[in-house]
Amino acid sequence: MARTWAVSFGENDRIELERIITDEDEPSALEFLKRVVYPKVKEAEKPGSCFREVTRPVDEVGRPIKKLKGSGGKP
């Protein structure tokens, strides 16, 4: 079964991606994948990452999900 992963972008990256698509700028597209997308995918593969496979139920993550990073421990 294929995995489905979610990747988030900040506003600047979203604007850059929009420009790349609008201009059909293939060299910049490859550079964007290498600089922005690929590192996020590799980070998501690390154990304990805050990213997770979105097709797997939360109760199968294997660690407590009671505290969110940066939330001061609030659920």
For 16-75, write each residue's pLDDT tens digit: 999 999 999 999 999 999 999 999 888 877 776 655 555 555 555 555 555 555 555 455
Joined together, the tokens standing for residue 30 give 């490859």
Q: What are phi and psi of 53, to 5 degrees?
A: -65, 120
pLDDT of residue 14: 94
State the residue range of the domain holding 6: 1-75
Joined together, the tokens standing for residue 45 give 């593969």
CA–CA distance, 60 with 54 (Å, rounded to integer): 11
pLDDT of residue 65: 55
pTM for the full model? 0.58
Burial state string for 24-62 with b = 16 or more CB within 10 A and e = fewer than 16: eeeebeeebeeebeeebeeeeeeeeeeeeeeeeeeeeee
Structural domains of the chain, count: 1
